[in-house]
């Protein structure tokens, strides 16, 4: 059994990822590891932020760990909010304010194409003690609805409709969302890689 620390404080992400993990892996959350810090996300790319989060936790614990950073990329807004998705409407990281800003910025715009993109960064110490960094990406294409739909999930879920569905992520239960989700695709790649070690 492999034990892996997941460098996040986001309970929704932990629940989504735990529902995908097989019996060979045990995911430990930061709170389970007794770590209570707000990990910085200061960079301009998802990749750099994911590396920052994993590196902070690895340097504190010396344990194999992974982190993920996700952004909503809206074509008509030149891929904004992107790496700034959590703080699009300000430092308060308010989901409703972020959604309101997206809907306002897309008012009267016909092209609603968007995608969620997740980058996972894994820091893995091999048997010979060599520490290596690996990245895994997952993309979910879709579009932005004109109004909020549904109450499940988190973040931008009420306004994101994935390709192949007419429901928003917030109208789906976790299993349905996982069939489409960016995070699920990136996590699947991560666990395929770990299973091959
Ligand atoms: P983070 O920086 O990776 O924690 O995520 C940035 C922001 O993207 C979050 O605060 C959410 O607003 C949004 N987000 C990330 N993943 C999802 C998702 O699966 N659905 C909806 N919004 C998400």
pLDDT 10s digits, 50-91: 999 999 999 999 999 999 999 999 999 999 999 999 999 998
Q: Ligand 1: which of 6, 82, 86, 149 to mutate, judged by most atoms within 8 Å of the beta carbon? A: 86
Number of domains in the chain: 1
pLDDT, tens only, 173-188: 989 999 999 999 999 9
**How many helices (H) and strands (E) would you count in the chain?**
5, 7
Angle CA 195–27–87, to nearest 5 = 110
Query: The domain spanning residue 116 has which CATH number?
Result: 3.90.950.10
Structural domain harbouring 137 = 2-196
* 13: pLDDT strictly greater than 90: no
Helix-strand-coil split of the chain, %, nearest 5: 35, 25, 40
Instruction: Name the residue among 197, 181, 196 with its Cα closest to residue 20.
Output: 181
Task: Please list every protein residue whose CB sits less than 6 Å from any atom of ligand 1.
Answer: 10, 41, 69-70, 72, 85-86, 93, 95, 98, 116, 153-157, 169, 183
The CA distance from 161 to 11, in Å, is 22
Would the pTM of this model clear 0.75, i.e. be above it?
Answer: yes
């Amino acid at each position: 059994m492999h034990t892996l620390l997941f460098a996040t404080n986001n309970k929704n992400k932990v629940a989504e990822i735990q529902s995908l993990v097989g019996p060979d892996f045990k995911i430990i959350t930061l709170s389970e590891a007794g770590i209570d810090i707000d990990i910085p996300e200061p960079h301009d790319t998802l990749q750099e932020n994911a590396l920052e989060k994993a590196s902070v936790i690895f340097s504190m614990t010396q344990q194999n760990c992974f982190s993920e950073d996700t952004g909503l990329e809206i074509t008509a807004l030149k891929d904004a909010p992107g790496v700034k998705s959590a703080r699009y409407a300000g430092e308060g990281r308010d989901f409703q304010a972020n959604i309101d800003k997206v809907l306002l910025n897309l008012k009267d715009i016909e092209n609603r194409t968007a995608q969620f993109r997740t980058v996972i960064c894994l820091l893995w110490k091999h048997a010979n003690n060599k520490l290596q960094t690996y990245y895994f990406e997952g993309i979910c294409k879709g579009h932005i609805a004109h109004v909020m739909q549904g109450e499940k999930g988190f973040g931008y879920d009420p306004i994101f409709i994935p390709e192949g569905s007419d429901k928003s992520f917030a109208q789906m239960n976790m299993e349905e969302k996982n069939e489409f989700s960016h995070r699920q695709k990136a996590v699947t790649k991560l666990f395929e890689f770990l299973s091959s070690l």
